[in-house]
Amino acid sequence: MMMTPAELAASFTDLDEADFDHLQRLLGSWGVLSDLSFSDLLLLVPAKGADGERLLVLGQIRPTTSVTLLRVDLVGQVVAAADWQVAAEAVRTGKVVSGVADVPAPTPLPAPLPSWPVHEQGSDTGEVPAVPDTAQFECVPVPLGGEVRAVMVRIGPLEDRRRSYRLERVYRDLYQRLAAMVAAGDYPFAGEDVTTEDAPRVGDGLILVDTEGRIVYSSPNAMSALHRMGVSDAVESRRLPDLGVEETAIDRALAAGCPVIEEVERRPDVIVLVHCTPLLAGGLVTGAMVLLRDVTDLRRLDRLLLSKDAAIREVHHRVKNNLQTISSLLRLQARRLAPGEGQEALREAERRVRSIAVVHEILSREPGDEVPFDEIVGSLVRMAEDSALSGHGVTIQVTGDIGEVGADVATPLAVVLAELLQNAVEHAFPSNGTDGAQAAEGEGEGTEIGHVDLVLANDGRRLTLQVRDDGVGLPAGFDIEATKSLGLSIVRDLVTGQLEGTIIMESRGGTLVTLDIPVASVDAGESWS
């Protein structure tokens, strides 16, 4: 298992949190340094309890502008200071130290420290050396709280000054200015946000400006970005605002001496992120590095994602409307039939459709596909109470809640609950009229009160739902497994099938129905249907 830089620092170095914070910011923004120097970068920190004899590789980055010289990932490895004398010297002297050297093969990170095995040159893999025989090393001390306790090592090809292009010279020079800032403790800037994924890199487009904000150099990709923003003039020694790019980031960064990020929208369709880093030397601002990143496509994606969410809600809304239309149609048809079995059946069907509509109604209001089930319960309870004939008090009391559940659980569960509540108000208290024919208990109409209790619980792994009434209880010999009637067949099939749960129905001073539904497995699960 790969450890994160934070874990490595905590376990194997003496860095405290503030120190690590600074290094973390460096790790978040040093991609630019690597690109500008066309080099691999390593961040080395003296290892805990090794008395400066060993250095831990805390970070590594490869340039996107050049070929890497480090073919292996050294993060988490420990190297001997004796083999990395330039680095050790930078730590000791606090100065930038450079030289040409071979890179020794590092040893893997042993545990626990500090009883490391003796460093062995050339491990068993043997074939591929970590770097070519010689490379240019440059070690930049990183002061932490006034003391040098880390070093940034640049490993690049031996420079060939004769053959360098202007871009290369500008980039290398800019790297030197930034490296000096690292050594002075000025870079990365304190308090600067590290947003690695959004951070522009040099390849996105780089502009170098002087203290007045005049463009000294603009990379080809920066030129392209400017073109997309409608700039077609020559840019050298002009200021961006003079070119019609209304940004204030550069001026603000130059004035305040700290980085400024600004999103510039130009012409309806181009959005460019302007990331401006002031360059400091001896406490003075000497210019600024401006990275331009065309984020048009990214922002368009963001907007699409937002509208996708809205679209899903819109679909739920329409589904709900359609279900309501269906239930109205059923109601109309039921009215045209003479009282009897057919009419009853249509009424039942109408009610079932409505209980599904309730779920879509709520999904159409919620972002994401989790539904607060309590809201559904509220609607279902009202539906059941309404269907009990008026004047025959059946009260439904809800205790507990099951919080948010996925739509795949909410829909079948809503149907199940609607059936159970309906049964309670319909069958448990025969004299309330809905079961008219069997209402022969001799109690006066309109006076008795039936109680239905709905108890809900969710322990994160299982949902437990209980529907209890204090009515007449189940018919003798009733068996949920064997029942052929439609309502409870639906309940049984949904609970044991789609919801993969269990159902118990028993007579206990009325009827008690207990549902037990695993949530984890349903969430992760292939649904049964």
Ligand X SMILES: Nc1ncnc2c1ncn2[C@@H]1O[C@H](COP(=O)(O)OP(=O)(O)OP(=O)(O)O)[C@@H](O)[C@H]1O
The binding site for ligand X (CB under 6 A) comprises 348, 419, 423-424, 426-428, 469, 471-475, 483, 485-488, 511
| Dist. CA 431–CA 437, nearest whole Å | 9
Nearer to Mg ion, 205 or 487 (CB): 487
Nearer to ligand X, 348 or 500 (CB): 348
Minimum distance from residue 301 beta carbon to ligand X (Å): 49
Residue 511 interacting entry, from Mg ion, ligand X, none, C-beta within 5 to 8 Å by type: ligand X
Minimum distance from residue 478 beta carbon to ligand X (Å): 6
Contacting residues for 126 by C-beta, under 8 A, at least 6 apart: none
Are residues 15 and 9 in contact, defined by beta-carbon separation less than 8 angstroms?
A: yes
How far CA 144 is from CA of 21, 31, 359, in Å, comes to: 10, 20, 57
471 binds Mg ion (CB under 5 A): no
Q: Alpha-carbon torsion 337, 388, 317, 495, what sign?
A: negative
Nearer to ligand X, 44 or 495 (CB): 495
Minimum distance from residue 487 beta carbon to Mg ion (Å): 3
Going by DSSP bridges, is the β-strand pair 394-399/450-458 parallel, antiparallel, or unpaired?
A: parallel
Q: Interface with Mg ion by CB under 5 A: which range of 300-308, 324-332, 371-379, 484-492?
A: 484-492
Q: Which residue is nearest to Mg ion (CB)?
A: 487
Q: Which two tokens stand for residue 357?
A: 């509509």
Nearer to ligand X, 422 or 458 (CB): 422
In single-letter form, the type of residue at position 378 comes to: G
Are residues 441 and 461 in contact, defined by beta-carbon separation less than 8 angstroms?
A: no
Nearer to ligand X, 36 or 467 (CB): 467
Nearer to ligand X, 306 or 486 (CB): 486
Minimum distance from residue 474 beta carbon to Mg ion (Å): 12
Residue 486 interacting entry, from Mg ion, ligand X, none, C-beta within 5 to 8 Å by type: ligand X
Q: Which two tokens stand for residue 388?
A: 């009990």
**Cα atoms in the Cβ-side hemisphere of radius 13 Å centred on 134:** 6
Dihedral over alpha carbons 93, 94, 96, 100 (to 10 degrees)? 40
Residue 321 interacting entry, from Mg ion, ligand X, none, C-beta within 5 to 8 Å by type: none
Minimum distance from residue 435 beta carbon to ligand X (Å): 8
Are residues 474 and 507 in contact, defined by beta-carbon separation less than 8 angstroms?
A: yes
Minimum distance from residue 305 beta carbon to ligand X (Å): 43
Nearer to Mg ion, 294 or 426 (CB): 426
Strand order in the sheet with 206-209: 215-218, 206-209, 284-294, 270-281, 260-266
Nearer to ligand X, 164 or 434 (CB): 434
Question: Each residue of 125-161: b (16+ CB within 10 Å) or e?
Answer: eeeeebbeeebbbbbbbbbbeeebbbbbbbbbeeeee
**410-449 footprint of Mg ion as x/- string (CB under 5 A):** -------------x--------------------------
Minimum distance from residue 320 beta carbon to ligand X (Å): 23
Residue 215 interacting entry, from ligand X, Mg ion, none, C-beta within 5 to 8 Å by type: none
Burial of 118 (0-12, 13-18, 19+ CB in 10 A): exposed
Nearer to ligand X, 70 or 467 (CB): 467
Q: Alpha-carbon torsion 364, 369, 373, 377, what sign?
A: positive
| Dist. CA 374–CA 424, nearest whole Å | 19
Contacting residue, 5, 76, 487, 510, with Mg ion by CB under 5 A:
487
Minimum distance from residue 366 beta carbon to Mg ion (Å): 29
Minimum distance from residue 526 beta carbon to ligand X (Å): 28
Q: Which residue is nearest to ligand X (CB)?
A: 487
Minimum distance from residue 432 beta carbon to ligand X (Å): 12
Nearer to ligand X, 129 or 473 (CB): 473
Residue 35 interacting entry, from ligand X, Mg ion, none, C-beta within 5 to 8 Å by type: none
| Dist. CA 320–CA 363, nearest whole Å | 9
Question: Directed axis angle between helix 407-427 and helix 486-493, to 10°?
Answer: 150
Can you give the binding site for Mg ion, defined by CB under 5 A?
A: 423, 487
